[in-house]
Amino acid sequence: MYRKSFNTRGPRNGFSKSYGARTQRGNSRGFGGRISKGQYIDPSRFINKAVITEELEHFIPEHKFEDFALDASLTQAIISKGYSDPTPIQDKTIPYILNGLDLVGIANTGTGKTAAFLLPLINKVLQDRKEQIIIIVPTRELAVQIENELKSFTKGMKIFSVCCFGGASIGQQMRDLRHFNNFIIGTPGRLKDLIGRKMINLSLFKTIVLDEADRMLDMGFVNDMRFVMSLMPKDRHTLFFSATISTEIEKLVGEFLREPVRISVKTRDTAKNVDQDIVRVGRGLNKVDILHDLLIKPEFNKVLIFGRTKHGVEKLSKILSEKGIRVESIHGNKNQFKRQKALNLFKDSNIQALIATDVAARGLDINEVSHVINFDIPATYDDYIHRIGRTGRANKRGKALTFIE
């Protein structure tokens, strides 16, 4: 399909000789950025045809939402949102959370995980209005997404929340924290800052959710997580959600939780729903021009493009914009208002492409992404899986392309 203008398909057994030698040293240059170290990933792992099955696995839940011992007003809010049957993670975890048990939930994003912990915790607040709950997540976008979902369930219930993350005014967050909040949702660094300023008294919080814990570990937040946990009561309710379970994650489970129930609903790899291929950039060809040639094709209608560095992402965004592509960027140097605006424009299909660092690789639920393009090779294969998991969601087929020089 793409081979006429440039070679997308190389031998399945690896890169060209010159590229392979450079990559095996663990280096990959972000566009316009510094060289970053990452693991060697054989390019054959970026090529995989989607598994198309006519008969999808049919999940039959054990419960209806009405079966759970939820407050009547919350049950009505769930029904009003059009929810009928619980998703697998909701079906399995809600009863245990309602009973106050510590829990480890292993599930991919896009499985209804947020509602799985929000619904029983909202119920806890409805039973005791003095209840205070803290939810820790790796990124600003995920924090906002969780608070929006919380508000959608609690309209008219007088349940109060505040979102705390970097890149936004700490002064406004401090003013919000002077009022009583049932839920505080935030990122580790900003929460630690606010705790240090005596704006959050963790001794009053008896429930904590660590969401996307593996991502927080990858981003170097482990000591911040330990700091927060150390200030909470020992007799607490801890919920721990992660897409993967590594040796490091197991250590954290052992540190933070007491005899947790373990629930895993990872029935298949998201990547199996995604058609994966490589775009081989020949010597002397311009990588950006090749990307532009793809984006002007009609089927590339909602494209998430990943770059390695903040500088590279911003530079690529400006170049594509000058070439007439409707594009925005998300990276750590942008303040929260600009990041949220770019994300909303992409979600609402008001722009064609969103260029992002790995801040957008996890936790974001964006519908109808037609393509994921790895303009820069990810640092690890796990990062690759999470990137391409932004397409091919809800049992739809997606496409992912990885640029190889």
SS (H, E, C) 122-144: HHHHHHCCCCCEEEECCCHHHHH
Res 220 pLDDT > 70: yes
Q: Average pLDDT over the chain, rounded to whole?
A: 84
Instruction: Compute the average pLDDT of residues 205-220.
Output: 90
Q: Which amino acid is at 196?
A: G
36-63: b or e for each residue (b if 16 or more CB lie within 10 Å)?
Answer: eebeebebeebbbebeeeeeeeeeeeee
Of the pLDDT bands very low, low, confident and very high (cuts 50, 70, 90), residue 58 is low
Tokens 């260029």, residue?
A: 355
Res 260 pLDDT > 70: yes
pLDDT of residue 34: 39
pLDDT of residue 383: 81
Res 343 pLDDT > 80: yes
Indicate the pTM of the whole model: 0.68
Query: What is the C-alpha separation between 28 and 25, in angstroms, rounded?
Result: 9
SS3 228: helix
**3.40.50.300, 1.20.200.10, 3.80.30.20, 3.30.465.10: CATH of 65-264:** 3.40.50.300
Residue 99 DSSP code: T
The pLDDT tens digits for 130-189 are 999 999 999 888 999 999 999 999 999 999 999 999 988 899 999 999 999 999 999 999
SS3 181: coil
CATH number of the domain located at residue range(s) 17-53+269-404 in this protein: 3.40.50.300
Instruction: Compute the average pLDDT of residues 200-219.
Output: 92
Distance of CA 183 to the CA centre of its chain: 20
Res 275 pLDDT > 80: yes
The pLDDT tens digits for 351-380 are 999 999 987 656 567 888 999 999 999 888
- CATH 3.40.50.300 residue ranges of the chain are 17-53+269-404, 65-264
Of the pLDDT bands very low, low, confident and very high (cuts 50, 70, 90), residue 394 is low
Residue 354 DSSP code: E
pLDDT of residue 266: 63
pLDDT of residue 382: 76
pLDDT of residue 49: 67
Res 195 pLDDT > 60: yes
Provide CB contacts within 8 A for 111, sequence distance 6+.
87, 88, 89, 265
pLDDT of residue 108: 73
Provide CB contacts within 8 A for 137, sequence distance 6+.
143, 146, 185, 186, 187, 211, 212, 216, 363
Instruction: Compute the average pLDDT of residues 109-136.
Output: 94
Res 209 pLDDT > 80: yes
Query: What is the C-alpha separation between 140 and 336, in angstroms, rounded?
Result: 7
